[in-house]
Amino acid sequence: MADDDLEAFRADTRAWLEQNCPPGARGVPMRPENSVWGGRRPYWPSDDQRLWMERMAERGWTVPDWPKEYGGGGLSKAEAAILAQELKRIDAASPLQSLGIWMLGPALLEFGTEEQKRKYLPDIANGRVRWAQGYSEPGAGSDLAGVQTRGELRDRNWVVNGQKIWTTYGDKCDMIFALVRTEPDAPKHLGISFLLLDMDQKGVTTRPIELINGDAHFCETFFDNAVTNSENIVGERGQGWSVAKFLLGHERAMIGQASGAGMGKPLEQVAKDTLGVSGLRAEPALRQEVVDNLIDSWVMQIAMERMRDQAKAREMNPHTPSVLKLVGTELNYARTELIGALTGTDTLTMDDADTVRWLSAPANCIAGGSNEIQLNILAKRALELPEHK
Amino acid sequence: MALVLTEDETMLADAARGLLDRLAPVTAFRTLRDSTDTLRYDPALLNSLAENGLVAPNIPEENGGVGMGVAAAGVIIEMAAHNLTAAPLVSAAMAAELIARLGTDDQRDKLLPALISGELVVACAFEEASRHDPSLLDTTARNDTLSGDKTAVIDGIGASHMLVSAKDGDATRLFLVDTSVEGCHVEPIQTIDGRNFASVVLKGARGEPVGQGDVSEAISMALDIGRALLAAELLGISDQAFTMTVSYLKERKQFDRVIGTYQALQHRTARLYARLDLARGVVLKALRSIDSGSEDASQLASLSKCVMTRLSRDVLAEAVQMHGGIGVTDEFDLGLYFKRARVAGSLLGDDRFHAERLAQLRWQL
């Protein structure tokens, strides 16, 4: 598209946003409890945010780059980038967040049948159905391909038995996409299918798990003869691992970037506000750690800029998501620890946002494939180091 | 500009790599290092590089250059580092920038084409302290006559000319000194890396002013160019040492298994891979920001030098450790990279210097 057309698109978008983004949907701090997640039992942080979500969904702009026929905005990459810039300009809240948008949608667009796309994508786009991810199990964490939840085909239904864990917001979700062992006799990685199940049925029970940061977003979900129609399989039987791997790339880049971007007050500001420049200089060891973290954060920021440029030039290094996940989560952990060091004993309470961020940091080093798994992946795929037989 | 190489830069990198592999493999450097000749570069090789447009590609087109910016110089220097090519490329790019920026028409016409063709080698004599300290300047200029001691002059041996910084009253000025003039004494220093390194004693040496009045800003910029280019060199060195190490891990057997199958080694290697992937973007960003005249160019030069000095130190230490005994022999090439990384890391400020510079310049801490 010519630059003139893009500039016209920018002007139209800006005008529409000015008119349609209500005041209460601007300047909302980006936290899970302030966000619209949709679903059959939706929670609306404010009336304005509800209106905002509905208006955006109507234009397909909750998922701007999905095709129009599936409820998306049909925007090109360049147009979607402009929309994102314009949203940022007015500090608009994200109208709708969901695992459906980030995870299942891309999987269906890549692997789903036409029927599945028409059935599920529009409800993700307009926030009517909220999806959970059923990957990990008590016995399958890092060794995700070792999932034991069983699925058997009886009549025209998959009958599912087993347990999933770390199902984010599982207690608030309507549907779940799950990795289920359907081919018990096949080799480990070839015996898994990617199934879609309704969670609102007798055979599905979900229980929240409280974490050290006080959150109870992660749940465990039990399947006791849960059923789903035989058509609700994404990809072929036994192909679930390919679908899962495709999605894990998305998840990794997301975790790494979310961790890298400094949430809350920037570290250098905390340093100045708490100790002042002379106070910090009186503690050279602490100052050095602060400076090193700032240096590493800047490097991370440049790496994300480079990843976007590489994606545009179609020169993306396929291993970069693992790199960013590894580095971003460790950096975030160290940064939140340093903020704690600077602010001292006054902030050792559960109502301190920075302390809660620190308490959340270790989970990021574990989720989406632990950082040790990322190192394994880099060693195997990027460096092609041999495995011990 | 995007943090990916342009088509032209990629072609340049490929051309440089091909030429250097042909004319200057590591054995060429080893021969040079072991020769008794005090000249620490090969003039014939410099001519070949010059003929192929690989010397000072940042010289603007109106002065007979290719005008591809400092980014192109960085790409070439990174490639040359893979083979430890000993050629005055960093000093050429620094001097070129200063002459193009400050020189009179006459000076530009006289010097720049000769720099590009490799006919002249112009070194920059700025440093006066053993530990990098650009604020220190005791060399004086009286009626264009210079006196003082300079050290750590990159490519000083065999340089036909030097750009010398000096205090003239309160002003920081720059002078072009023909190294054959009376009162200019160049002392070669044999550094561990076998490369071109000198100190200079000036006792009433005649200089020709380059630029008018105080030129400290231009000198700062030249230093930043040098830092970003040394970062590019350290990237090439680290990349090569890392590649050698990964290959070795796939070959070397102990306890009846290839040592690359050990997870302890795999994870250490994977961490270095991650850091190298990040560092590539930092080096390119630093070079691009100089070319675009961006406000934070100086900070990015410090970032690149800081990051690459640290990373090259860690990569080379791990490379030697993982190679075991052979890694500490003179016969094996890895040691040559190890030594060069130490020297290039120290030049124009190490990681500690640049971390401190960033703390003050960028974060006001």
Query: Under 8 Å CB-to-CB from A354, ≥6 apart: which residues?
Result: A264, A265, A270, A336, A339, A340, A343, A347
Both tokens assigned to A264: 């809350």
Residues of B in contact with A312 (CB under 8 A): 2
**Closest CA relative to residue B20, chosen from B69, B73, B77:** B77
Average pLDDT for chain B? 96
Q: B7-116 maps to which CATH number?
A: 1.10.540.10
Chain B interface includes A387 (CB < 8 A): yes
CA dihedral A50, A56, A61, A67 (to 10 degrees): 100
B311 to chain A: closest CA residue:
A296
Distance from C-alpha of B282 to C-alpha of B54, rounded to nearest angstrom: 23
pLDDT tens profile B309-357: 999 999 999 999 999 999 999 999 999 999 999 999 999 999 999 999 9
Domains annotated for chain A, with CATH where assigned, are 3-125 (1.10.540.10), 131-238 (2.40.110.10), 242-382 (1.20.140.10)
Mean pLDDT of B176-194: 96
Evaluate if residue B153 carries a pLDDT over 90.
yes
- Which member of A33, A251, A268, A384 is catalytic? A251
Residue A383 to residue B246, Cβ atoms within 8 A? yes
CA dihedral A37, A38, A41, A42 (to 10 degrees): 70
Evaluate if residue B113 carries a pLDDT over 70.
yes
Domain ranges of chain B: 7-116, 122-214, 217-361
The number of angstroms, rounded, from the C-alpha of A264 to the middle of its chain's C-alpha atoms is 19
What Cα–Cα distance (Å) separates residue B110 from each residue in A301, B114, B173, B317?
Answer: 43, 7, 20, 45
pLDDT tens profile B69-102: 999 999 999 999 999 999 999 999 999 999 999 9
Tell me which residue in A281, A287, A320 faces B277 most closely, judged by beta carbons.
A320
N-to-C CA span, chain B:
30
Distance from C-alpha of B45 to C-alpha of B28, rounded to nearest angstrom: 10
Distance from C-alpha of A98 to C-alpha of A100, rounded to nearest angstrom: 5
Chain B interface includes A270 (CB < 8 A): no
What integer pLDDT is reported at residue A368 of this predicted model?
Answer: 86
Whole-complex ipTM: 0.96
What is the model's pTM? 0.91
What integer pLDDT is reported at residue A4 of this predicted model?
Answer: 84
CATH homologous superfamily for B122-214?
A: Butyryl-CoA Dehydrogenase, subunit A, domain 2 (2.40.110.10)
Distance from C-alpha of A42 to C-alpha of A172, rounded to nearest angstrom: 9
What integer pLDDT is reported at residue A262 of this predicted model?
Answer: 46
Query: Under 8 Å CB-to-CB from A345, ≥6 apart: which residues?
Result: none
If DSSP states are collapsed to H, E and C, what string results for chain B?
Answer: CCCCCCHHHHHHHHHHHHHHHHHCCHHHHHHHHHCCCCCCCCHHHHHHHHHCCCCCCCCCHHHCCCCCHHHHHHHHHHHHHHCCCCCCHHHHHHHHHHHHHHCCHHHHHHHHHHHHCCCCCEEEECCCCCCCCCCCCCCEEECCEEEEEEEEEECCCCCCEEEEEEEECCEEEEEEEECCCCCEEEEECCCCCCCCEEEEEEEEEECEECCCCCCHHHHHHHHHHHHHHHHHHHHHHHHHHHHHHHHHHHHCEECCEEHHHCHHHHHHHHHHHHHHHHHHHHHHHHHHHHHCCCCCHHHHHHHHHHHHHHHHHHHHHHHHHHHHHHHHCCCCCHHHHHHHHHHHHHCCCCHHHHHHHHHHHCCCC
What Cα–Cα distance (Å) separates residue B154 from each residue in B86, B116, B162?
Answer: 11, 18, 10
What residue has token string 């490379």?
B319
Residues of A in contact with B258 (CB under 8 A): 386
Residue B365 to residue A375, Cβ atoms within 8 A? no
Q: What are φ and ψ of residue B53, in 5° steps? A: 70, 25
Distance from C-alpha of B176 to C-alpha of B162, rounded to nearest angstrom: 6
Q: Are strands A131-134 and A157-168 parallel, antiparallel or unpaired?
A: unpaired
A385 to chain B: closest CA residue:
B260
Residues of B in contact with A306 (CB under 8 A): 3-4, 280-281, 284-285
A378 to chain B: closest CA residue:
B270
Tell me which residue in A271, A298, A378 faces B365 most closely, judged by beta carbons.
A271
What Cα–Cα distance (Å) separates residue B294 from each residue in B196, B221, B231, B324, B360?
Answer: 32, 12, 18, 44, 19
Residues of B in contact with A290 (CB under 8 A): 365
Percentage of chain B exceeding pLDDT 90: 96
- Residue type at A329 in one-letter notation: T
Residue A383 to residue B269, Cβ atoms within 8 A? yes
Residues of A in contact with B270 (CB under 8 A): 374-376, 378-379, 382-383
Distance from C-alpha of A327 to C-alpha of A378, rounded to nearest angstrom: 13
Residue A303 to residue B263, Cβ atoms within 8 A? no
The CA distance from A269 to the nearest CA of chain B, in Å, is: 9
* β-pair partners for B199: B187
Greatest distance between any 2 Cα atoms in chain B: 74
| Fold of domain B217-361 | Butyryl-CoA Dehydrogenase, subunit A; domain 3 (1.20.140)
Distance from C-alpha of B32 to C-alpha of B48, rounded to nearest angstrom: 17
A283 to chain B: closest CA residue:
B365
CA dihedral B307, B311, B314, B316 (to 10 degrees): -140
Residue B278 to residue A300, Cβ atoms within 8 A? yes
Q: Is there a catalytic annotation at residue A54?
A: no
Chain A, 122-161: which have a CB under 8 Å from a chain B CB? Answer: none
What integer pLDDT is reported at residue A312 of this predicted model?
Answer: 85
Burial of A244 (0-12, 13-18, 19+ CB in 10 A): buried
The residue ranges of chain A whose pLDDT is under 50 are 260-262
Distance from C-alpha of B209 to C-alpha of B213, rounded to nearest angstrom: 9
Distance from C-alpha of B164 to C-alpha of A289, rounded to nearest angstrom: 37
Tell me which residue in B267, B282, B355 faces A291 most closely, judged by beta carbons.
B355
DSSP class of residue A379? I
Between A and B, how many residue pairs show a Cβ–Cβ distance under 8 A?
Answer: 119
Mean pLDDT of B231-247: 98
Evaluate if residue B29 carries a pLDDT over 60.
yes
Both tokens assigned to A148: 């034991």
DSSP class of residue A104? I
Both tokens assigned to B327: 């890694």
The CA distance from B275 to the nearest CA of chain A, in Å, is: 8
CB A161 within 8 A of CB A205: no
What integer pLDDT is reported at residue A260 of this predicted model?
Answer: 46
Q: How many CA atoms lie within 13 A of B7 on its CB side?
A: 0
Chain B interface includes A381 (CB < 8 A): no
Residue B273 to residue A378, Cβ atoms within 8 A? yes
Residues of B in contact with A378 (CB under 8 A): 270, 273-274
